[in-house]
Amino acid sequence: MNERSLHGVIVLDKPGGWTSNRVMGRVGWLLGLGRRKGGKIGFLGTLDPLATGVLPIFTGKATRLIPLFEGLEKTYRATIRLGESTDTFDSEGRVTRQRPLEGLTPERVEQAIRGFAGFREQSAPPFSAVKQDGVASYRLARQGKEVQRRVKKVHIRLIEPEKIELPEASFRVTVSAGTYIRTLADDIGEELDVGAHVTALRRLDCGNLFTEEKSITLERLEELAGSMDRKDPLPDLGFILNPVGFLREYSPLEVAGQQLDYILHGRAVALAADGGMTPGARAMALDTHGALVAVGRLDSLPGGGLEFRPEKVLA
């Protein structure tokens, strides 16, 4: 077994009907992470049970990198049903109101969808993981308690209608981190004065880094795991991707010897040459085998030159 294969990223194609936490737990069990030193696991960007698609799962020491990606835009394909509102803003909830679609045309729906591009204020759905007094909102909503819907500003950078066959409409949308597509669906329905809820949702990518093309299905992962020796289930696995490939904005620095030792202990190191890099730039330290050691920033030295200051040490 190559222990380095433990520390990386799995771009999972999440199946419908599973919570993100349940999927993560299943992946961890399949790879035996709970039985291994450094066998941590975490994911980026919660997907609702109804949703499918890209769910980046970080394993081992790569979990320390998750905060670096939390601000990424996300792209989705959504299908909504017009004329019905639900308490969860999706098809898993209880229908709270039905309204006729008389006079509603595909052209009006397309115009309304396009009109949501730009910066907007948005509230989380009543059924969400947002905490209120330390309790998830969905737990309070299930108990029939009032949920305070906090308003925040989001950016819908791109929204394009794809198919409109009333009462359903589908669109592709690219949004800032933290945007709720369920709320967007409800808002579109209210804009048209007919109500709406999500019936299908698929995440297509996160920041053009974690994409469908790089993803693996849970079914395929289970097949691969089933062919492994359960006592040693982590050989060089191609689906556990090197995190270096996702740090596109970080300049690579090869380190060895005393420099490597200093970085492993969280200490800054002076660079022999700046390589055209500037103070404040982000950089990643790699060992002589190309393995990621740390990420950090470049600072100016008083006498000139640059130093690498590690912020997250992996090795």
Which residue type is seen at 62? A
Q: Is 15 exposed, middle or buried (0-12, 13-18, 19+ CB in 10 A)?
A: middle
- Length of the chain, please? 315
Q: Is 310 exposed, middle or buried (0-12, 13-18, 19+ CB in 10 A)?
A: buried
Could you give the domains of the chain? 3-71+209-243 (no CATH), 74-201 (3.30.2350.10), 249-313 (2.30.130.10)
pLDDT by 10-residue block (mean), the chain, 315 residues? 70 96 93 70 94 96 95 98 96 95 97 97 75 51 56 95 98 96 97 98 97 95 72 59 93 93 95 78 93 94 89 90
What per-residue confidence (pLDDT) applies to 125?
A: 81
DSSP assignment of 225-269, as one string? HHTS-TTS--SS-TTSB-GGGG-TTSEEEE--HHHHHHHHTT--E
pTM of the model: 0.88
Q: What whole-number distance in Å separates Cα of residue 52 and Cα of residue 158?
A: 20
Catalytic choice (48, 90, 186, 205):
48
CB 172 within 8 A of CB 77: yes
Q: Which of 28, 5, 56, 29 is nearest to 240 (CA)?
A: 5
Q: Residue 229 contacts by C-beta under 8 Å, 6 or more apart in sequence?
A: none
Q: What whole-number distance in Å separates Cα of residue 47 and Cα of residue 45?
A: 6
Task: Quickly count: other Cβ atoms within 10 Å of residue 70's Cβ.
Answer: 11
What per-residue confidence (pLDDT) applies to 277?
A: 80
User: Could you confirm whether 186 is annotated as catalytic?
Assistant: no
What per-residue confidence (pLDDT) applies to 256?
A: 92
Which residue type is seen at 31? L
What per-residue confidence (pLDDT) applies to 181?
A: 97
What per-residue confidence (pLDDT) applies to 224?
A: 82
Q: Which of 96, 156, 87, 163 is nearest to 126 (CA)?
A: 87
* CA 313 to the chain's CA centroid: 22
CB 82 within 8 A of CB 189: yes
Structure tokens at 16: 């419908």
Q: What whole-number distance in Å separates Cα of residue 129 and Cα of residue 43?
A: 15
Q: Which of 126, 123, 131 is nearest to 154 (CA)?
A: 123
